[in-house]
Amino acid sequence: MMEQDILEVLFTEEQLDKRVSEIAAEINRDYAGKKLILVSVLRGSFVFMADLVRKIEHPCLIDFMSVSSYGKGSSSSGQVQITKDLSEDITGLDVIVVEDILDSGNTLSYLLRLLEQRHPASIRLCTLLDKPDRRVKPVDVHYSGFTIPDAFVVGYGLDYAEKYRNLPYIGILKPEIYS
């Protein structure tokens, strides 16, 4: 039923699994012997985070934040709001922020500055999707899954109005659905 709202499949289940494995291999290499915590930015990154963490070979903590600048719309409002903060103290830990999509950069720029004030040993960003054409604020990406065009995408945790998160692939939503 949801498939009828998809204009085009950008990344299949197989492509997603392969790329997540590659990112995990990079993290495994870079963080051997370190005190690592992965921070999932809810809700969009939960599927990516679950797949990623299962492929990380060393002990790591996980935590979650809920940060929004979208509300129920299809573009960023520019107003960042934290709706759930971390449960763990990140002081002295190596932090990887795991995000579903880097779009305008407003939310992630704010979030990374906020977390840096909590004195982690290091902080890096891992995003499944990077949409550089929409960037308003510069954000350093250390691990990136795919660069995508300026299109509204859903599936694999990404939503529109809380729908489509459970699609096993990432697809472009038909414009008439969100217009």
pLDDT for residue 2 = 87
Per-residue model confidence as pLDDT tens digits over 88-107: 999 999 999 999 999 999 88
Q: Please indicate whether residue 51 is annotated as part of the active site.
A: no
Per-residue model confidence as pLDDT tens digits over 142-162: 999 999 999 999 999 999 999
**CATH number for the domain that contains residue 111:** 3.40.50.2020
Name the average pLDDT for the chain. 93
Tell me if 93 is assigned to some domain: yes
Quote the CA–CA distance of 130 and 116 in Å, as a whole number.
22
Tell me if 156 is assigned to some domain: no
Catalytic residue among 51, 94, 100, 103: 103
Tell me if 8 is assigned to some domain: no
Tell me if 171 is assigned to some domain: no
Q: Among residues of the chain, what percentage have pLDDT more than 70?
A: 94
Query: Which band of pLDDT confidence, cut at 50, 70 and 90, is reported for residue 37?
Result: very high
Give the structural domain span for 103: 14-149
Cα distances (Å, whole numbers) of residue 95 to 73, 86, 148: 29, 12, 25
Per-residue model confidence as pLDDT tens digits over 108-131: 999 999 999 999 999 999 999 999
Q: How many domains is the chain partitioned into structurally?
A: 1
pLDDT for residue 80 = 79
Tell me if 168 is assigned to some domain: no
Tell me if 131 is assigned to some domain: yes
Tell me if 158 is assigned to some domain: no
Tell me if 115 is assigned to some domain: yes
Q: Global pTM? A: 0.92
